[in-house]
Amino acid sequence: MASIDSLVQEWLRLDKNPTTRSEIEKLYADQNIDELEKRLRNRLTFGTAGLRSSMKSGFSGMNDLTVIQASQGLCMYLLDTIPTSVNKGIVIGHDHRHNSERFAKLTAAVFLNKGFQVYYYRGLVHTPLVPFGIKKLGASCGIMITASHNPKQDNGYKVYWDNACQIIPPHDKGIARSILNYLEPWIWDAELVNHSPLCIDNVKEISDFYFEELKALSNHREDNASSKVKFVYTAMHGVGTPVAKRAFETFSLNPFISTKEQEDPDPDFSTVAFPNPEEGKGSYAMAMKTADENDARIIFANDPDADRFSVSEKQKNGEWIIFSGNQIGIILASTVLEKYKAQGKPISKLAMLASTVSSKMLERMAKVEGFYFEETLTGFKWLGNKAVDLEQQGYEVSFAYEEAIGFMIGKIVKDKDGVSALATFAELAVQLDKRGLMISEYLEELYKKYGYFITENSYFICHSPPTINKIFNKIRFGENPVKSSESDYPYQYQISYPSTLAGNKITYIRDLTIGYDTSKPDNKANLPTSKSSHMITFGLENGCTLTLRTSGTEPKIKYYLELSGEDKEKVEKELRMITKSVADELLEPEKYELDYKTE
């Protein structure tokens, strides 16, 4: 194992940024070995989410050096796997976070240095414009510098392949290996984008094409123009305001009322603890205040890079409710379904997708209505690639969603897109208003048609990976794991999952970390498995489904619960009991010193 002295010297040999160099020099001068170990011992891992970490010096952080190294590895991997990639070019965009523009410029320089055509979006863009650009230009790859809704100290490096979808295996592992082969920076130049003839800024042209395709989703522009419905919008200090405004104009919707304090890009996210609409009323507080002051009853929110979308509605009793990702998903799915039916197309050729931790209500809708449904692993990297596969089989994949407020509508991008979701939902709200219905009342109609699907999704915070491993291994192998003595036994320890939860018998178990699935004759899961993350699903005899998983981008243990039935109050009561047992019986937050979610 390399000494900390040699790691420090290697960092100082490679790093040309005076700020991050001085950070390591100071830590070394102070002999802060613990912090140096954290920053230098382990490299920031490249995975299907690309890179995401806090911005700091060291091999484990997001900084100039690690971005250049990742770009060099990706560049050489592209040259090996797509021989025409130099001429096809790559698309690069960035958000408004600290260092995002610099990281994008350094990335572009790496590819320009190897003769790539680089479509470099100057200025801030919402994330979906990168995969859209790949599709429109026939590019070989796309990179978006963003950390989405993460805290202000984080940044990220998101990669899309030539099918305009986020990368999936084996590309992630291939890129990760390639990075290790090209650690020596071959160029460090943030100004090359300003004078290279290979660098093209066509962001206006691509944006125009994007909104042309968005316009095709609108069916009721006359109604939109004459509607008196008031909408309030918050960009959550991100890049969404200009694209949201243009989306409203494209659908002939009257201008929304902007939450002034949050409408401009602000890398410090000054008015919210977490710049994520999923975090509840704390993140919505200023938008709700704006809506109350303007007598508006509907609020739309995008996350900072505008690929996610959220909705809140003021009820008749004056209370604001924030719809869950599952509720928004089923409402949008119903809208897409009605539009598809109106076109007279064969229902058997329509396909919709959802992630495995999302509500099963879309699956129920598919059975009732007759369209094809499939679920994938969590994340739009899986949903987008599955959509491509299904289209090759002759299906029209008009909708996909994940419960984490990510929605794909139509063929604009094979990724979540908060702007197309916003415009589509606004048009639906206008149509509901014509019928005298609130959004919540329309949702109730859908529940009565397809059944009440009640979900409870939340998380605990844990900054210790060994503790997370201990919790999940306790769940799968028991408090006192017993090593397997059988030579052909597929697991290191004898499995010992719980047999009950909240007094309900567990009838089904799927563990995608070790590839175990009790629904299969050989107990082997057919969904892709990953030893680098945890994901366990339990089915209870009362029909409840529970999934526990780790996050790929945040220090969280997430849980997803769903129970369905015809009696809403009974379902809600039963689900509350099971939710309590998830903490008490499985995760044990006090024992493992987990932090609870805060508003």
Catalytic position from the list 85, 148, 207, 420: 148
d(CA 185, CA 578): 53
Residue type, 44: L
Which single residue is written with the structure tokens 């903490």? 583
SS3 sequence of 150-212: CCCCEEEEEEECCCCCECCCCHHHHHHHHHHHCCCCCCCCCCHHHCCCCEECCHHHHHHHHHH
CA dihedral for 161, 165, 166, 167, sign (positive or negative): negative
Evaluate whether 417 touches 307 at the Cβ level (below 8 Å): yes
CA dihedral for 102, 106, 108, 112, sign (positive or negative): positive
234 membership: H or E segment, kind and range = strand 231-234
Distance of alpha carbon 222 from its chain centroid, rounded? 34
d(CA 29, CA 354): 52
d(CA 169, CA 381): 10
Strand 504-511 relative to strand 500-501, pairing: antiparallel
Strand 320-322 relative to strand 298-302, pairing: unpaired
* Burial degree of 205 (CB within 10 A; 0-12, 13-18, 19+): middle
Evaluate whether 40 touches 11 at the Cβ level (below 8 Å): yes
CA-wise closest residue to 501 among 579, 392, 428, 401: 579
Helix 325-342, helix 439-450: angle, nearest 10: 80
Q: Which two tokens stand for residue 288?
A: 């709700």
113 membership: H or E segment, kind and range = helix 100-113
CA dihedral for 293, 295, 297, 301, sign (positive or negative): negative
Strands (E), 277-405: 298-302, 309-314, 320-322, 350-355, 372-376, 396-402
539 membership: H or E segment, kind and range = strand 535-540
Backbone angles phi, psi at 283, to 5 degrees: -75, -20
* C-alpha Rg value of the chain to the nearest Å: 24
d(CA 479, CA 95): 45
Which single residue is written with the structure tokens 């509607």? 227
d(CA 529, CA 515): 6
Q: Is 148 a catalytic residue?
A: yes
Q: Which residues are catalytic?
A: 148
